[in-house]
Structure 1
Amino acid sequence: MDYRRITNIEDPLFVKMHDLMKEVFPPEEVLEFELWKEPLEDPGIRVFVAVHDDEVVGATEYRYYPDWNIAMTDFTIIGHAGLSIGRFLAQNRQKDLEELANANGNQLFGMFAEIYDPYQLDDHEFGGVKPMNPFVRREVLSHFGYKRIELSYLHPSWKNDGEGVKGLDLCFMPTEENVFEIPASLVAKFLTTYYSVLSNKPQEWVQMIEEINSKEKIRLLPL
């Protein structure tokens, strides 16, 4: 299996990756094909696919923020069972992020991720791919060390229609296991920067950011 970076919308592997995204994610979670051009060319956004027998069987997108020494996992897709795709993607992603942090003179502080909460919403089958089942993924990410940020969370729809998307938790995986809270300002600055590409934010999201900014620290809870 190969770990291949995609930096161009015309890369044939991107076409396969986007098709895979549409199979496993709900429509409001998938950015339109043409809108991927700038993100793929952005050196700070890292999109990699797992290629097996010339087919895209998995993918991950993530980014490193040197100013805050944190990362964000945008998504991880496992397209087939029985190939250890999740472990392959996670190991290669972690190695890449550690190298980026080291080049910045740091040890990575931690990584954000939005994680589906199937106990809130469990009506999506993720393309019928069993490893993508939200119950399975949530437990795997808990094993990795992700913790739930104490926050009633929603995010703006990637359709940029002003709607809020619920049914997820914002989580954080600290590099040091004994970290049980993080600065609220870090969470607010990260979310504001991450969703700056969307101009049409729901009012609920704006209120959530204001609530975060009113705090000094936010607890990390078991996932």
Structure 2
Amino acid sequence: MDYIRITDINDPYFRQMHDLMKAVFPPEEVLEFSLWAGPLKDPGIRVFVAVHDGEVVGATEYRYYEDMQVAMTDFTIIGREGLGIGPFLAKKRMDEIQQLAAAGNGAPLGMFAEIYNPYLAQDHSFGGVKPMNPYVRREVLAHLGYRKLDFPYVHPSWHNDGAAVQELDLCFMPFGDDAFETESIAAELITDFLERYYSVLPNKPDAWYKMVDELKPRGPVRLLPL
């Protein structure tokens, strides 16, 4: 299996990846095809596909904010069972994040991720791929070390229509030798991250601004089991 970076919407692998995204994610989670042109050329946004026998069978997008020393997993897609795509993508992603952090003479504090809450989410089939089932994904990500941040989470729809999406939890996976002992992270780190991450979407819902404003005066935010 090959791990190939995508930087152009004209790359035939990108068309395959976008079709895979539409098959497994609900519409509000998928950015329209042409709107990917700019993000793919952004050196800070890293989009990779797992290619098996010429076919895109998995994909991941992530980024690393050197000034905040945190990463974000935008998405992970497993398009087929029985190929070990999940561990393959997770290892490749982690290796590169460590390399990016080392190049900036720092050590990453951890990684954010928005994780579907299957008890809140509608009945999404996720393309019928069993590893993408939200119950399965939640357990896998819990085993990796992700934990839920202790506040009600809302995020703007990627349709950029101002709609609020409330089916996910914002989670964080601490890095380092004492990762399992880490009980909280600073609210300031969370709000700085959210404002940076969603700056690309001008039409954010009022509920999102209210959430951020309520977080800002808080101190540490607890990390809870998924």
TM-score normalised by L of structure 2: 0.98
Residues of 2 paired with 1:171 and 1:122: CA distance?
A: 20
Q: Percent same amino acid at aligned positions?
A: 63
Partner-residue secondary structure (3-state), 1:17: helix
What is the Cα deviation at residue 122 of structure 1?
4.2
Does residue 208 (structure 1) correspond to residue 211 (structure 2)? The answer is yes
Q: Does 1:161 align with 2:161?
A: yes
Partner of 2:190: 187
Deviates more, 1:210-219 or 1:87-96: 210-219
1:109 matched residue in structure 2: 109
Gaps of 5+ in 1: none
Q: Residue 219 of structure 2 aligns to which amino acid in structure 1?
A: E
How far off is 1:135 after superposition?
Answer: 0.2
Residue 108 of structure 1 deviates from its aligned partner by: 1.4
User: What does residue 48 of structure 2 align with?
Assistant: 48
What is aligned with 2:136?
136
Task: Render the CA deviation track for 1:29-61: whole Å, top value 9, x for unaligned.
Answer: 000000000100000000000000000000000
State the match for 2:15 in structure 1: 15
Match of 2:99 in 1: 99
SS in 1 for 2:201: coil
Deviation at 1:71, TM superposition (A): 0.1
Segments of 4+ in structure 1 off by > 3 A? none
C-alpha RMSD over aligned residues: 0.6
Is 1:127 equivalent to 2:127 in the alignment?
yes
Number of matched residues?
223
Name the counterpart of 1:177.
Answer: 180
Q: Deviations over 1:194-213 (max 9, x none)?
A: 00011111111000000110
SS of corresponding position for 2:181: coil
Counterpart CA distance in 2 for 1:42 and 1:55 is 25
CA distance in 2: counterparts of 1:156 and 1:214, whole angstroms: 22
State the secondary structure of the residue aligned to 1:37.
helix
Query: Who is 1:66 aligned against?
Result: 66
Q: Distance in 2 between matches of 1:29 and 1:120?
A: 16
Partner of 1:34: 34
Q: What is the alpha-carbon distance in structure 2 between the residues aligned to residue 97 and residue 200 of structure 1? A: 30
Partners of 1:121 and 1:97 in 2: CA distance:
30
Structure 1 residue 216: deviation in Å?
1.6
| Aligned pairs (5 A) from 1:138-153 | 138-153=138-153
Gaps in structure 2 of 5+ consecutive residues: none
Q: How does 1:75-90 map to 2 (within 5 A)?
A: 75-90=75-90
